Chains A and B, each alone.
Chain A
């Protein structure tokens, strides 16, 4: 057992692909499982007690993204004795798994409502693709939650599949998560991610909310740059990842969408976010949205911190129903 490679891991590789699952508090053997090509190997990077539960960061080898990926997970006190619903949080441009857990102050409400919060990174990292680190709004830190179809991005940049398939599978098999109860939220590019994940998978997410989301990426500069890079010049393929277009053709269980937007957000006035287009589409299709334009707030995590409790309450209403 090579514990040097897995210093404080909760899952120890035992023999080839057999892993032992060990409680990292009492070192009791919880079980063992077979891993596919080592995909399920989770390495704990950090663990800190927070609001009665634990804020942890793990690293794993992603099969979708073909690289090592980190994600943050908050486990509420309730998770020690019962399965808990999971809220997936998608962060914005340039963020890692760290921004949300250190700045948003979500743990108190998550602890009170008994909700696990999973916050993945925003793109593959260290894939040595030419140009991936050239700009802050494309490549590293800017995966845009799409499955790229263009070279050289299509091998690694599959954030949509990672967030909607691989990550939930990983969470459900390694943590006390209730696989039937998941919801999604995010900020800016992550808000766009949350909205498309919910609109493209009717019924998969019990609730959805967003902070200052990019509502109509095919109409804004950020979206056009990212989509033409990842998806190619054919604009009709872009529509599959545009929440305003997706809302207009949505059919499925009723969604209750909560959106907060700062009125003094520089990217709102720069027409990167375009919430009016989404509101119009949802009004037309009678998709319930409460959109709150918050006076004086900007695009920062100070804005998120101010309203995160309302959002967690919104998710709890559907996750704990």
Chain B
């Protein structure tokens, strides 16, 4: 019975399975049908879309073509009317020209009657002569600059007065023969005399001054310079056509030069002057004795200053406008060129001094450092200590220095606008003024109490001075 039970159960299950299978088949068919229908639908939709699109495209194209046609027609019309207008204006122009010619023909006939008189021609001429540009004044020849001439060419420069109108210049030149005694020309001038005490130099230039020393007329001067070698020096450079008795020559640093001057006139150049030797290791200058206070005396070599402890007879005290009247001081004659300058001053322990720089026109009646035109370091001996001041416009910062400087290095740098003081024995920086110098400054030296100080010239600035002036990168 169990077997039959199982059998019936099995058959029941089989029918169930068969039902399920047929169900599945039905579902499959339904799905297939649905898909078919959907596919058809989609295809139809797609076709519709495509059709609409092509229809739209066609419509657009025709519309655009119509518009194009219309516009072309309009343009053509416009072109036509333009052409017509052009023709019309051409005619008009021709007509106007014709009319004009006719007018021209008529004009002289009527004018002939109007101007019969000829009386005004004189007046006219006079008027014209008034309006004519006046003749320019003579140009001024500039002195020859270095490196402006070769063996076959020469660059000549001149200046004109700003009021003049010039069409062109005419340049004349004439060969001056060395042995110009031929002809009835002027006598050659005698050689000039170089004023050694008034010559000054720095590491890259020198200012040379001289006296003409002539009774013969002199047209200009020629400066000849040669590097000093033991062989009879050959001229390495010359500067010609110098109109005055001074000249700044650009030089190379760390060299030694021998410099001569000649005077020149139509007759030719003079003999050479006595030479002056310039060495470009450092700054070199003389004292301007004419600025010295009457109590300040200068040694024979010109570099040591004394303030002697003695009363001068009143008759000896002669003040001029240029001498210091209250401060026992003197100025130095530094090059009027913006550059770097270095000099040293030697003092002894008891010397009370002021050293520094001042404008050339610094007040002669006031003390150095007491005004805005001078900058200086001052040493004062007090009963307790050595006091140092760095004075400008009457004010000094409070600086204490433990070791007394007996040789002071002074470094003037126009580019950085600084004037610095050093104790050269210790290579110690003492103080730096920073200021923009509006004019050239001159070294200044003063003694506040009887004593002496010495100027040391022509020294190359030590590297601790130039190095601290500008940071290296």
User: A: which residues have CB within 8 A of B?
Assistant: 109, 112-114, 254, 256, 263, 279, 282-283, 286-295, 313-314, 316-317, 320-321
The answer to whether A317 touches B468 (Cβ under 8 A) is yes
Per the bound structure, the CA–CA distance linking A287 and B428 in Å amounts to 11
Could you tell me the distance in whole angstroms from the C-beta of B462 to the nearest C-beta in chain A?
Answer: 11
Q: Which 10 A-B pairs have the closest CB atoms?
A: A293-B398, A291-B400, A112-B471, A289-B402, A282-B402, A283-B402, A288-B403, A288-B426, A288-B428, A286-B403
The answer to whether A279 touches B400 (Cβ under 8 A) is yes
The answer to whether A287 touches B403 (Cβ under 8 A) is yes
The answer to whether B397 touches A283 (Cβ under 8 A) is no
Could you tell me the distance in whole angstroms from the C-beta of B419 to the nearest C-beta in chain A?
Answer: 16
Q: For residue A113, which residues in chain B have a CB less than 8 angstroms away from its CB?
A: 471-472
Residue-by-residue, is B194-205 near A (CB-CB < 8 Å gives 1, otherwise 0)? 000000000000
Per the bound structure, the CA–CA distance linking A288 and B427 in Å amounts to 10
The answer to whether B428 touches A256 (Cβ under 8 A) is yes
Pairs A–B under 8 Å by Cβ, sample size 21: A112-B471, A254-B426, A279-B400, A288-B403, A289-B400, A289-B401, A289-B402, A290-B399, A290-B428, A292-B398, A295-B397, A295-B398, A316-B467, A316-B468, A316-B471, A317-B429, A317-B464, A317-B468, A320-B472, A321-B463, A321-B464
**12 other A-B residue contacts (CB within 8 Å) besides A290-B428, A313-B468:** A113-B472, A256-B426, A256-B428, A289-B401, A290-B399, A291-B401, A291-B402, A293-B397, A293-B400, A314-B429, A317-B467, A320-B472
Most buried by A among B397, B402, B426, B429: B402
The answer to whether B403 touches A293 (Cβ under 8 A) is no
Q: For residue B473, which residues in chain A have a CB less than 8 angstroms away from its CB?
A: 112
Q: For residue B322, which residues in chain A have a CB less than 8 angstroms away from its CB?
A: none
Q: For residue B266, which residues in chain A have a CB less than 8 angstroms away from its CB?
A: none
Q: For residue A109, which residues in chain B have a CB less than 8 angstroms away from its CB?
A: 471
Could you tell me the distance in whole angstroms from the C-beta of B404 to the nearest C-beta in chain A?
Answer: 9
B276 CB within 8 Å of chain A: no
Could you tell me the distance in whole angstroms from the C-beta of A120 to the nearest C-beta in chain B?
Answer: 26
Q: For residue B472, which residues in chain A have a CB less than 8 angstroms away from its CB?
A: 112-114, 320
B430 CB within 8 Å of chain A: yes
Could you tell me the distance in whole angstroms from the C-beta of A147 to the nearest C-beta in chain B?
Answer: 29
The answer to whether A286 touches B402 (Cβ under 8 A) is yes
Per the bound structure, the CA–CA distance linking A85 and B37 in Å amounts to 92
The answer to whether A287 touches B468 (Cβ under 8 A) is no
The answer to whether B399 touches A292 (Cβ under 8 A) is yes
Instruction: List B residues 366-406 near A (Cβ within 8 Å).
Output: 385, 397-403
Most buried by A among B428, B430, B464, B473: B428
Known A288-B403, A314-B429: A283·B385 in contact at CB below 8 Å:
yes
Number of inter-chain CB pairs below 8 Å: 69
B423 CB within 8 Å of chain A: yes
Per the bound structure, the CA–CA distance linking A73 and B153 in Å amounts to 63
Q: For residue B402, which residues in chain A have a CB less than 8 angstroms away from its CB?
A: 279, 282-283, 286-289, 291
- Interface range for B: 20 to 34
Per the bound structure, the CA–CA distance linking A321 and B462 in Å amounts to 12
Per the bound structure, the CA–CA distance linking A294 and B397 in Å amounts to 7
Per the bound structure, the CA–CA distance linking A290 and B402 in Å amounts to 7
Q: For residue A293, which residues in chain B have a CB less than 8 angstroms away from its CB?
A: 397-400
Q: For residue B427, which residues in chain A have a CB less than 8 angstroms away from its CB?
A: 256
Q: Can you name the residue of chain A whose Cβ is closest to the Cβ of B473? A: A112
Per the bound structure, the CA–CA distance linking A287 and B463 in Å amounts to 22
Could you tell me the distance in whole angstroms from the C-beta of A311 to the nearest C-beta in chain B?
Answer: 11
The answer to whether B397 touches A290 (Cβ under 8 A) is no
Residue-by-residue, is B208-238 near A (CB-CB < 8 Å gives 1, otherwise 0)? 0000000000000000000000000000000
Could you tell me the distance in whole angstroms from the C-beta of A142 to the nearest C-beta in chain B?
Answer: 28
Per the bound structure, the CA–CA distance linking A255 and B398 in Å amounts to 22
Instruction: List B residues 421-435 near A (Cβ within 8 Å).
Output: 423, 426-431
Q: For residue A287, which residues in chain B have a CB less than 8 angstroms away from its CB?
A: 402-403
Q: For residue A279, which residues in chain B have a CB less than 8 angstroms away from its CB?
A: 400, 402
Could you tell me the distance in whole angstroms from the C-beta of B400 to the nearest C-beta in chain A?
Answer: 4
Instruction: List B residues 80-114 near A (Cβ within 8 Å).
Output: none
Q: Can you name the residue of chain A whose Cβ is closest to the Cβ of B395? A: A295
Q: Can you name the residue of chain B whose Cβ is closest to the Cβ of A114? A: B472
Could you tell me the distance in whole angstroms from the C-beta of B402 to the nearest C-beta in chain A?
Answer: 4
Q: Which of A112, A254, A290 has a CB less than 8 Å from the CB of B401?
A: A290
Q: For residue B398, which residues in chain A have a CB less than 8 angstroms away from its CB?
A: 263, 292-295
Per the bound structure, the CA–CA distance linking A320 and B464 in Å amounts to 10
Could you tell me the distance in whole angstroms from the C-beta of A40 to the nearest C-beta in chain B?
Answer: 33
Q: For residue A313, which residues in chain B have a CB less than 8 angstroms away from its CB?
A: 468, 471
Q: For residue B428, which residues in chain A have a CB less than 8 angstroms away from its CB?
A: 256, 288, 290
Q: Which of A256, A286, A289, A292 has a CB less than 8 Å from the CB of B397?
A: A292
Q: Can you name the residue of chain B whose Cβ is closest to the Cβ of A256? A: B428
Per the bound structure, the CA–CA distance linking A230 and B463 in Å amounts to 45
Per the bound structure, the CA–CA distance linking A289 and B398 in Å amounts to 14
Per the bound structure, the CA–CA distance linking A263 and B467 in Å amounts to 30
Q: For residue A256, which residues in chain B have a CB less than 8 angstroms away from its CB?
A: 426-428
Per the bound structure, the CA–CA distance linking A283 and B423 in Å amounts to 15
Could you tell me the distance in whole angstroms from the C-beta of B255 to the nearest C-beta in chain A?
Answer: 27
Q: For residue B431, which residues in chain A have a CB less than 8 angstroms away from its CB?
A: 290
Could you tell me the distance in whole angstroms from the C-beta of B49 to the nearest C-beta in chain A?
Answer: 61
Per the bound structure, the CA–CA distance linking A254 and B425 in Å amounts to 11
Could you tell me the distance in whole angstroms from the C-beta of A278 to the nearest C-beta in chain B?
Answer: 9
Q: Can you name the residue of chain A whose Cβ is closest to the Cβ of B426? A: A288
Per the bound structure, the CA–CA distance linking A292 and B389 in Å amounts to 11
Could you tell me the distance in whole angstroms from the C-beta of A78 to the nearest C-beta in chain B?
Answer: 9
Per the bound structure, the CA–CA distance linking A316 and B471 in Å amounts to 9
Could you tell me the distance in whole angstroms from the C-beta of B427 to the nearest C-beta in chain A?
Answer: 8
Q: Which of A112, A263, A288 has a CB less than 8 Å from the CB of B423?
A: A288
Q: Which of A114, A290, A317 has a CB less than 8 Å from the CB of B430?
A: A290
Per the bound structure, the CA–CA distance linking A254 and B429 in Å amounts to 14
Could you tell me the distance in whole angstroms from the C-beta of B198 to the nearest C-beta in chain A?
Answer: 37
Per the bound structure, the CA–CA distance linking A263 and B397 in Å amounts to 11
Per the bound structure, the CA–CA distance linking A321 and B398 in Å amounts to 29
Could you tell me the distance in whole angstroms from the C-beta of A26 to the nearest C-beta in chain B?
Answer: 25
Q: For residue A282, which residues in chain B have a CB less than 8 angstroms away from its CB?
A: 402
Q: Can you name the residue of chain B whose Cβ is closest to the Cβ of A113? A: B471
The answer to whether A291 touches B426 (Cβ under 8 A) is no
Residue-by-residue, is B66-80 near A (CB-CB < 8 Å gives 1, otherwise 0)? 000000000000000
Q: For residue B401, which residues in chain A have a CB less than 8 angstroms away from its CB?
A: 289-291
